Structures are given as C-alpha cells and as structure tokens.
A and B are shown apart, each in its own frame.
Chain A
Amino acid sequence: MEILLLLFVPLSGGILLALFGNHRLAAELNSIISFLTLINAGFLTARIISYGPIVAFHEQFFVDPFNIFLVTLTALVAFTTSLFSRPYMRIEQHHGKLTENRLRLYHCMYQLFTFTMLLALLTNNMGILWVAMEAATLTTVLLVSLYRTPASLEAAWKYFIICGVGIAQALFGTILLYFAAEKLLGIHSSLLWTHLDKIKDRLDPTVMSVAFVFLLIGYGTKVGLAPMHNWLPDAHAEGPTPISAVLSGLLLNVALYAVVRCKILTDGALHSHFAGNLMIGFGLLSLIVAVFSLSHQKDIKRLFGYSSIEHMGLITFAFGMGGPIANFAGLLHMTVHSLTKSAIFFTVGHAAQKTRTQVMENIRGLLIQSPTVGWGLMLGSLAILGMPPFGVFASEFLILTTAMKQQPWATPLLLMALAVAFAAIFGKVQPMVFGETTAQRTPRPPALLPIFVHLSLVLMLGLFIPMYLANWYREAASLIGY
C-alpha cells in the first residue's frame, strides 16, 4: 500500500502540474507534492525497519535495505531541491529566461522525473527497471533544453542520443538476461529480481557475462562512466540548476543502482571476479579522465559536472572491489555525494544568478555580497574534496584503505586523482569566494535552508552514523556480496 501511494503521489502531482503548472502558486504546490512523497517514503521506511523486506503486488515491487535507503534519499533530495527551485526559478523568470508555459513544463516534468526514479528503484522487474530508466531520460530531455538557447538544445540532443543509444545496449543486456533465466523460471517470473537472485548460480555463465557487458555499458552511460560520459557535463551546465542538482544527486545513483543489481546476478552465475574487474576498470578510468578534465574548465557547472563523474567513478570502483567494507563505503559515498553535490549546485545556482554568469573568471568575492552563499560554496567544496570532518572523508578513507588491501596497485592512482581534484577545484573556488565582489543582489532572497540542511547531514554522517542507518548499510553491503 505504501509503495503504491509513494508512486501515485508524484505521478498524479505531475498530471496536476501539467494543468496548473503556470499558476502563481505552482512552485509551492511542487514543494508540497514533493513533501508528500517524502512523508510516504518515511512511512515506507518505518515499515521496512519494523517488518523487514517486503514484496508486493504479484511480486512486481519489492523493498530491501539496498533500495529503501536510496528511495528515502531520492525523496529527500527531490523535496529540498523543490524548495531551492522555488525562489531560483522565480528569479530566472524575473531575468526573462523563462515563459510561463515553460515553467509549467518544468514543474510537470520535475514530478514525473521523481516518479520514474522511484519506479526504477522500487520495481522488482528488470524489464520495468529498463523502461523507468529510459523514461527518466525522456522526462529530462526537455528540461535540459528549457532555456532554448543554442547551447542548451545541443546539450539536450547529445543527452538524448548518447543516453538513448546507451540504454538500448542495456535493453539488449536485459533480453539476454531474460533468455538465460527463461529456461529456469518460465515466462512469468523470469525477469523478477527476487526470483533471479534465488537461482543466480544456475544461470548460464557465457550468456550472463555477455549480458553484463551490455548492461554495464548501457546503464554505465547514464552513470556517466568514461568513455561514455560526454553528455554529462553539457547537460549539467546548460540545464536549469535544480535539474543539474537532481541529475547529479539522484539519477546517477539510480543508474548505478541498476548496475549493482546486475552485478549481483552476474557474480552469482560466474563465481568469478569478472563483473567486479570490469567495474574497477571503468571506475578508475572515469576517475582519472574526470580529474584531469577539471583543471581546464571555465564554466562552474561543468566543473562540478566533471566532479560528479569523478565521484561516480570512485563509487563504481568501490563496488567493483566488493566485500563488506568496500560496499559499505560505496553506499555511504553514494549518500554523501548526493547530498553534498546537490548542496553545491544550490549555491552555484545562486552564485550564477548574483553575478549573471556561469564563467568562473567573472564570479568573484561571493562572501562580500552574501556570506551564506559564499560559505555554502566553500564548505560544500571542502566537503566534496574529502576534507574531514565531512562524511565524504569517511567514505573515501574506507575506499582507500580497502583498496590498499585488495587492489594495492590502484592506491597510488586513487591518491593522485584525489590530489589533482583538490588542487583543481580548491584553486578555482577560493577566488570565487574571497576578494573583490562582482555579485549583485537578486530580486528575491535565495533559498539557503536546503544548502545547510544537506551540509549538516553530511557533517553528521562524517562524525556519527545512526545505528539503524549503519545496519542498513551493512545489510545492503552483504546483499551486494563480493
């Protein structure tokens, strides 16, 4: 019941906003719907805590410790982002970048996007997972091109074509998976993950290894893994900032979730480290490509887009290593990266509005005009760069120490990548925050609450992880296996 309600709220909200999305209070309505989704997610979480994993509706949906924390995270970040987008989009409208009709499109698609992500997380059917991932691309294409500038149209086209082709590979992988399972499970249940999980050691290894390659490349395109990452910085830079925040903070996580689900099945079928090794390779490559692209960025949103590729690479690397500690670290890093990166995009959005530019050379001295936005950007950057006491430090530390034990050859590469990222991002953020200012007042006060809620959550996760959360992570980590 909770599952149905959780999916119904954003879906009906999307339809409602398609009708009234240009109303004066549409932004408030958007926040309220997101808040309802968050409450539903809370109820579902409470139920999972007290009753354990559930399977519902002819086994079409299921919830276990691995997806429930992503559901809560998705609902939370979708809600805080809707709070941020309320003043942000009004200022954009004030600056003449948007018409009322486009605002309606924006609000409607925002809710539908949340719906597709929740569906992808909650479904038990690997086919529906694919359908939901494709739908998530479709709902965001028109959002990336919302400003209708030449650059944004180009970014949206690239996003559609690259992700569309990528996800087509994942469909082929899903077909192969179905083929491997059909003989064992019959037509009706052979794409249901809970059934697949039970018989995974009897799936044909040859087919599964081919299937996993297609699935990894397919969903990996959406994770932003190199060399299929080209769409990501463009889409992040040219779309409206709330969309950059949810793309980076949520969609990448959901795509990675799909990869990890497939990895569990492949590991079971192959009894080898094939899937893990592939993920280690793609993860490291993305990490290194991303950090070396950071230093010559001029656009602030592109900079943090590349930073997202870097972190997704790191998480993929962690899941590739496998084992309880690396998986734990990967899950923790998913959480803290999502919270930190969306907080950074909130501050970046307001900074870009105050200076009317996204070019970093022209953003100067944020601290003088608005201490909160300035400190938000500074603290957010320090957090994402892995400075203690923030949560990113904890997860990166765990990943590094596990790497020393399991993949010692990769440790110097990881350390070098983190150092390069630090030099590049800190060197660019510092002059933007301090010094003579180029910022002006915006017609409306910025939304500061979401930024500091996110950063304090990240700080808390760095200092202390609540008992039930740690338990979830541990259970999910053991589900993912080696």
Chain B
Amino acid sequence: MIPLSGQLLNLLAAVFLLIAFAMLAQRRILSLIHLYAYQGLVLSLSTLIVAYSTHQPHLYYSMLLNFLLKVLIVPWILHRLIHRLNVQWDVETLLNIPTTMLIGLALVIFAFNLSLPIVQLAGTINRSTLGIALASVLLSFLMMITRSKAVPQVIGFLALENSLIFAATSITYGMPMMVELGIALDVLVGVFILGVFFFHIRNQFDSLELKHMEKLKDN
C-alpha cells in the first residue's frame, strides 16, 4: 500500500507529464506561458509534499525558490516581453500535431525503459516519477525542435530545466542548496539576456521567425 503522499506525488507527476504534452501541442504563445507557470506550480507542490513527508528542511527553501522563480518571476518577465514585442496573440503553424504526439509517446516509452535500472536503486518515496521526469526532458527537446519561433523555443528550454529539477527531486531529495541557487541564478540571468536578445533579433529581422536565421553555412 502506497502512503497518501506517494499517491499524491504520482498524481502530480502525471499532471506534470500531461502539461509537457499540452505544451507540445499548444500553438498560442500566451497559453504556452500559462502552461509553463502551471508546470512550475506542479513542481513546487511536489517538492512541498516531499519536504513534508521526509522532513528535509532544505527542500522547503528549494520549494520556495522554485515557486518564486518559475511561477511568478519568469512568467511575469515573459508576459512583459511578449507585450513589448507585441506577439502575445501570435499563433504558430505547427507541423503535423498527431505525428508529433506519436513521436512524444515513443519518447515516453523510451524514457521509462532507460530509467528502470536507476529507479531500482533509488530509495526515495517518489522514485517511480523519474521515468516521467526523463520523459518530460525528452518532450521538451521535441518541443524545441518542432518550434519555428524564438519565444516558444525558449519556453521549451525553460520547460527542459523544470523537468531536470523535477528529476532531481524524484531520485534524490533535491540538489544541495548552493547548487540550486546557482542554477536558479543562471535561469534568471539567461531569461534576461534572452529578453535583450529578442529585441536585437526583431530589430534586425522585423520578426521572431527562426527561418530568417538559417543562413550560416560552410560556403
């Protein structure tokens, strides 16, 4: 019998995976940012449950950090950015969504297989979620590959980082605090730099379509 906290964690992990799939299929930039914030919220909640049920004090700080950064600050910066860039109503024409979903499914199966030997060694209460975390990492990759605009590609990148932190809390009880702080700092600085960068790209190309940026070749 799995205790209640374990069941809750499994539920949250399932939601996490669902959000990763939703991001893969979402065409509107604004909704993508909302999905990213939800994903951050699920991440913080699951960290909170792990912290509560294992009495690991540093996980509370980690939860707070994740909540501030991924539910409030980064989505807020992204909102400001797309308003200033005036792309909030942009709709992306994606490649064949059903095919992308099928590839996504295959990735999930692959991730579960890869995580099997590792999961057997883990002693944490939420070890079964590693497969989901790894699947979300791969789905974020897939999202970055299929996107043709700059902002969604960056959201894919941020979702990738979310999934990695989720993996860290599921097989170990989070990374040491100093490392988590460093990672958070990198994410924050990265979002700022990309924000500046978006304006440069738009000033130069008059759009954030990445197809303008496929000119550099060997000859």
Q: How large is the interface on B (under 10, 10 to 19, 20 to 34, 35 or more residues)?
A: 35 or more
The interface bits of chain A over 154-181 (1 if a CB of B lies within 8 angstroms of the residue's CB, else 0) are 1111101100110010011001101100
Does B204 reach chain A (CB closer than 8 Å)? Answer: yes
Q: Are A138 and B186 in contact (CB under 8 A)?
A: yes
Does A285 reach chain B (CB closer than 8 Å)? Answer: no
A160-B194, A296-B219 given; A153·B200 CB < 8 A: yes
Residues in B whose Cβ lies below 8 Å from that of A183: 123
A70 to chain B minimum Cβ distance, whole angstroms, is 21
Segment among A87-95, A124-132, A240-248 that sits at the interface with chain B: A124-132
Q: What is the predominant secondary structure among interface residues of chain A facing chain B?
A: helix
Does B122 reach chain A (CB closer than 8 Å)? Answer: yes
Q: Are B176 and A150 in contact (CB under 8 A)?
A: no
Residues in A whose Cβ lies below 8 Å from that of B121: 179, 204, 206-207
A150-B205, A153-B204 given; A142·B176 CB < 8 A: no
Interface residues of B in 153-209 (CB under 8 A from A): 153, 157, 160-161, 164, 167-168, 171-173, 175-176, 178-179, 182-183, 185-186, 189-190, 193-194, 196-197, 200-201, 203-205
Q: What is the predominant secondary structure among interface residues of chain B facing chain A?
A: helix
- Shortest Cβ distance from A230 into B: residue: B216
Q: Which residue of the partner chain, among B150, B179, B194, contacts A128 with CB atoms under 8 Å?
A: B179
A-B pairs with beta carbons under 8 A, tally: 137
Q: Are A127 and B176 in contact (CB under 8 A)?
A: yes
Interface residues of B in 125-172 (CB under 8 A from A): 134, 137, 141, 144, 150, 153, 157, 160-161, 164, 167-168, 171-172
Residues in B whose Cβ lies below 8 Å from that of A176: 118, 171
Does B117 reach chain A (CB closer than 8 Å)? Answer: yes
Does B55 reach chain A (CB closer than 8 Å)? Answer: no
Q: Which residue of the partner chain, among A151, A210, A298, A302, contacts B114 with CB atoms under 8 Å?
A: A210
Q: Are A151 and B183 in contact (CB under 8 A)?
A: no
| Cα-based distance from A298 to B150 in the complex (angstroms) | 29
B177 to chain A minimum Cβ distance, whole angstroms, is 9
Q: Which residue of the partner chain, among A135, A145, A191, A210, contacts B176 with CB atoms under 8 Å?
A: A191
| Cα-based distance from A238 to B137 in the complex (angstroms) | 31
Q: Are B197 and A168 in contact (CB under 8 A)?
A: no
Does B84 reach chain A (CB closer than 8 Å)? Answer: no
Q: Are A142 and B197 in contact (CB under 8 A)?
A: yes
Does A182 reach chain B (CB closer than 8 Å)? Answer: yes
Q: Which residue of the partner chain, among A131, A175, A187, contacts B182 with CB atoms under 8 Å?
A: A131
Does A293 reach chain B (CB closer than 8 Å)? Answer: yes
Q: Are A156 and B197 in contact (CB under 8 A)?
A: yes
A178-B175, A191-B176 given; A141·B197 CB < 8 A: yes
Q: Are B218 and A293 in contact (CB under 8 A)?
A: yes
Q: Are A161 and B157 in contact (CB under 8 A)?
A: yes
- Shortest Cβ distance from A171 into B: residue: B164
Q: Which residue of the partner chain, among A127, A160, A161, contacts B178 with CB atoms under 8 Å?
A: A127
Does A396 reach chain B (CB closer than 8 Å)? Answer: no
A135-B186, A158-B216 given; A125·B118 CB < 8 A: no
Q: Are B171 and A179 in contact (CB under 8 A)?
A: yes
Q: Are B172 and A154 in contact (CB under 8 A)?
A: no
Q: Which residue of the partner chain, among A154, A155, A158, A191, contacts B179 with CB atoms under 8 Å?
A: A191
The interface bits of chain A over 186-219 (1 if a CB of B lies within 8 angstroms of the residue's CB, else 0) are 0110110000000000001011001000000000
B216 to chain A minimum Cβ distance, whole angstroms, is 5
Q: How large is the interface on A (under 10, 10 to 19, 20 to 34, 35 or more residues)?
A: 35 or more
The interface bits of chain B over 59-90 (1 if a CB of A lies within 8 angstroms of the residue's CB, else 0) are 00000000000000000000000000000000
Residues in A whose Cβ lies below 8 Å from that of B160: 165, 168
A248 to chain B minimum Cβ distance, whole angstroms, is 18
The listed residue with most A CB atoms (<10 A of its CB), out of B58, B123, B172, is B172
| Cα-based distance from A113 to B198 in the complex (angstroms) | 22
- Shortest Cβ distance from A293 into B: residue: B218
Q: Are B200 and A145 in contact (CB under 8 A)?
A: yes
A131-B183, A204-B121, A234-B216 given; A175·B172 CB < 8 A: yes
A258 to chain B minimum Cβ distance, whole angstroms, is 15
| Cα-based distance from A145 to B118 in the complex (angstroms) | 41
Residues in B whose Cβ lies below 8 Å from that of A175: 164, 167-168, 171-172, 175
Residues in B whose Cβ lies below 8 Å from that of A190: 176
Residues in B whose Cβ lies below 8 Å from that of A153: 197, 200-201, 204-205, 213
The listed residue with most B CB atoms (<10 A of its CB), out of A127, A134, A179, A238, is A179
A131-B182, A141-B193 given; A296·B118 CB < 8 A: no
Residues in B whose Cβ lies below 8 Å from that of A135: 186, 189
Q: Are A182 and B172 in contact (CB under 8 A)?
A: yes
| Cα-based distance from A302 to B135 in the complex (angstroms) | 37
| Cα-based distance from A448 to B152 in the complex (angstroms) | 46
B155 to chain A minimum Cβ distance, whole angstroms, is 13
Does A148 reach chain B (CB closer than 8 Å)? Answer: yes
Q: Are B197 and A161 in contact (CB under 8 A)?
A: no
Q: Are B186 and A302 in contact (CB under 8 A)?
A: no
A131-B179, A158-B216 given; A165·B141 CB < 8 A: yes
Q: Which residues of A contact B (CB under 8 A)?
A: 125, 127-128, 130-131, 134-135, 138, 141-142, 145, 148-151, 153-158, 160-161, 164-165, 168, 171-172, 175-176, 178-179, 182-183, 187-188, 190-191, 204, 206-207, 210, 233-234, 237-238, 293, 296-298, 302
Q: Which residues of B contact A (CB under 8 A)?
A: 58, 114, 117-118, 121-123, 134, 137, 141, 144, 150, 153, 157, 160-161, 164, 167-168, 171-173, 175-176, 178-179, 182-183, 185-186, 189-190, 193-194, 196-197, 200-201, 203-205, 210, 212-216, 218-219
- For this complex, 28 residue pairs linking A to B, each with C-beta atoms less than 8 Å apart, are A125-B176, A127-B176, A128-B182, A130-B182, A131-B183, A131-B186, A138-B189, A138-B190, A142-B193, A148-B204, A153-B197, A154-B212, A156-B197, A157-B213, A165-B160, A168-B164, A175-B172, A178-B172, A183-B123, A191-B175, A207-B117, A207-B118, A207-B121, A210-B118, A234-B216, A237-B216, A296-B219, A297-B218
The 3 closest A-B pairs by CB, nearest first: A127-B179, A131-B182, A154-B213
